[in-house]
């Protein structure tokens, strides 16, 4: 499980760390930097997919991999030449620390335009031992001599990936270290970034396409698979009836003339409704349920604004479902949100992994702070309108500004 991510000169973060848990909630004003955090996770996912830096940042044609927002010219904090990401992972009790630093070179004729990236430093520490540590000059990575004959010149490919590529040729690492590298790579590979689109979810899907797309594509086939198991089907229908005023008694999956799978919802009153006329909110719930109640869900799911399209009266129920599933399964859920109820009704575990992102007034850089560490947050959470009320009132930003000024004043005195 990923425990933390540190962003240095990445987008609008100078040097900030986000605490990550089974369910991580990120709040903050518009354009504060919430989605920039998602972009950092996408970068890690790109490593897990085995891509080069150019592909991770600029997109990979034909692989359904879009560029990181802002692409090459805006991934590094303005005015800087390099960025780094540092991830803390708990791997069955072992603490891993992975760091990747990426340097850039500008176009000779246009300093605003970045010409190339390379991995200038990369390190993996497992427990107290270093698994590898490499430095790159942009020409070829400088690595330990024993490895040198085997590693090709790929200054633009993370060493973590190269170690896997060369695994077949030669044993570069001890079996234990090799296993750590493989597991970390697969943690990075197992990330999904969902931005659900009801329009996409309404479309029939091809038989066998049983993985929900990032916009919710293939919903009918995914649901059909879940409904093949009577127990899961019942759980699914029960949650859906709780989440929506509609009493769903059954799901049907008729084929269209092209043999694609369609979705029909049967209500207890005997009415049947096709996905085409199901409400946006119902479809969003269906998609989230199919992830959370799917068979062995694993990996990290990042939802952009999970509360979109969901009635405030039902948000706490969605929260309950996520908290329950994330705690018992091998999954991590992260979301950005503006929903005050999601904060007010969060349990103690979620409260610990709730962070607020806001901008410094002077430099406009973004800061990330755990809500639980803001002054009196624990007390205020239990009083009045709860954390949601504080979010609405803008208390979080004020509290951060207060602590920052306070810390600075203390620092000056030293
Ligand atoms: N390379 C960069 N350097 C400094 N600031 C950046 C950079 N790239 C983006 N930003 C800032 O990040 C903001 C967008 O943040 P974003 O994460 O999309 O906001 P939100 O919190 O609404 O999701 C932009 O308005 C811009 O100010
Ligand atoms: Mg955003």
pLDDT digits (tens, 9 = 90+) for 182-236: 999 999 999 999 999 999 999 999 999 988 999 999 999 999 999 999 998 888 8
Distance from Cα 198 to the centre of ligand 1, integer Å: 27
pLDDT digits (tens, 9 = 90+) for 134-155: 887 666 555 555 555 555 557 7
pLDDT at 3: 97
CB atoms within 10 A of CB 96: 21
pLDDT digits (tens, 9 = 90+) for 326-360: 888 789 999 999 988 889 999 999 999 999 999 99
CATH number, span 2-22+31-190: 3.40.50
Nearest bound ligand to CA 39? Answer: 1
pLDDT at 414: 43
Nearest bound ligand to CA 358? Answer: 1
**Is the CB of residue 289 less than 8 Å from the CB of residue 240?**
yes
Where is 73: in which H helix or E strand? helix 71-74
Ligand 1 within 6 A of CB of 340: no
Q: Relative to the CA of 29, which ligand 1 atom is closest?
A: 21
**Is the CB of residue 308 less than 8 Å from the CB of residue 42?**
no
Is the pLDDT confidence value at 10 over 80?
yes
Ligand 1 within 6 A of CB of 9: no
Nearest bound ligand to CA 31? Answer: 1
Question: In the structure, what pLDDT confidence band is assigned to residue 413 with cuts at 50, 70 and 90?
Answer: very low
Task: Please state the rounded mean pLDDT for residues 279-298.
Answer: 86
Ligand 1 within 6 A of CB of 80: no
Question: In the structure, what pLDDT confidence band is assigned to residue 95 with cuts at 50, 70 and 90?
Answer: very high
DSSP secondary structure string, 227-238? HTSHHHHHHHHH
Question: In the structure, what pLDDT confidence band is assigned to residue 411 with cuts at 50, 70 and 90?
Answer: low
Distance from Cα 17 to the centre of ligand 2, integer Å: 18
Is the pLDDT confidence value at 241 over 90?
no
pTM of the model as a whole: 0.92
**Is the CB of residue 332 less than 8 Å from the CB of residue 19?**
no
Rounded Cα gap, residues 227 and 233, in angstroms: 5
Is the pLDDT confidence value at 309 over 90?
no
pLDDT digits (tens, 9 = 90+) for 98-124: 999 999 988 888 878 888 899 999 999
Ligand 1 within 6 A of CB of 31: yes
Distance from Cα 32 to the centre of ligand 1, integer Å: 7
Task: Please state the rounded mean pLDDT for residues 21-39.
Answer: 96
Distance from Cα 45 to the centre of ligand 1, integer Å: 20
Mean pLDDT comparison of 37-41, 235-239, 272-276, 316-320, highest-scoring range? 37-41
Q: Could you tell me the residue ranges of all domains in the chain?
A: 2-22+31-190, 196-299
């Amino acid at each position: 499980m990923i425990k933390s991510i540190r962003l240095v000169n990445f987008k609008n973060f100078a040097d900030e760390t986000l605490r990550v848990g089974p369910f991580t909630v990120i709040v903050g004003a518009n354009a504060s930097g919430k989605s920039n955090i998602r972009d950092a996770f996408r970068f890690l996912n790109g490593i897990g997919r085995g891509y080069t830096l150019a592909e991770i940042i600029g997109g990979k044609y034909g692989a359904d991999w879009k560029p990181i927002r802002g692409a090459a010219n805006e991934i590094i904090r303005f005015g800087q030449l390099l960025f780094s990401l540092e991830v803390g992972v708990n791997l069955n009790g072992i603490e891993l620390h992975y760091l990747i630093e990426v340097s850039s070179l500008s176009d000779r004729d246009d300093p605003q335009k970045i010409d190339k990236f390379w991995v200038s430093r990369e390190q993996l520490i497992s427990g107290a031992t270093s698994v590898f540590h490499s430095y790159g000059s942009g020409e070829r990575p400088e690595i330990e001599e024993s490895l040198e004959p085997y590693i090709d010149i790929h200054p633009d490919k993370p060493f973590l990936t190269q170690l896997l590529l060369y695994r077949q040729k030669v044993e570069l690492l001890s079996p234990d270290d090799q296993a750590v590298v493989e597991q970390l790579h697969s943690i990075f590979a197992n990330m999904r970034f969902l931005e659900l689109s009801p329009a996409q979810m309404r479309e029939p899907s091809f038989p066998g396409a049983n993985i929900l797309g990032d916009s919710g594509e293939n919903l009918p086939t995914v649901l059909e698979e879940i409904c093949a198991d009577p127990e899961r089907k019942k759980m699914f229908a029960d949650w859906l009836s709780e989440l929506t005023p509609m009493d769903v008694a059954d799901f049907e999956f008729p084929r269209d003339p092209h043999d694609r799978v369609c979705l029909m919802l049967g209500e207890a009153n005997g009415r049947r409704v096709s996905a085409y006329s199901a409400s946006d909110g119902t479809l969003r719930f269906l998609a989230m349920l199919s992830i959370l109640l799917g068979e062995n869900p694993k990996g990290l799911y990042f939802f952009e604004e999970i509360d979109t399209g969901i009635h405030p009266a039902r948000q706490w129920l969605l929260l309950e479902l996520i908290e329950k599933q994330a705690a018992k399964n091998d999954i991590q859920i992260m979301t950005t949100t503006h929903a005050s109820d999601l904060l007010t009704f969060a349990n103690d575990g979620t409260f610990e992994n709730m962070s607020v992102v806001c901008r410094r007034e002077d430099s406009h850089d973004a800061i990330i702070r755990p809500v639980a560490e803001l002054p009196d947050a624990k007390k205020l959470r239990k009083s009045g309108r709860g954390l949601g009320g504080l979010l609405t009132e803008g208390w979080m930003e004020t509290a951060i500004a207060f602590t920052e000024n306070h810390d600075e004043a203390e620092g000056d005195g030293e």
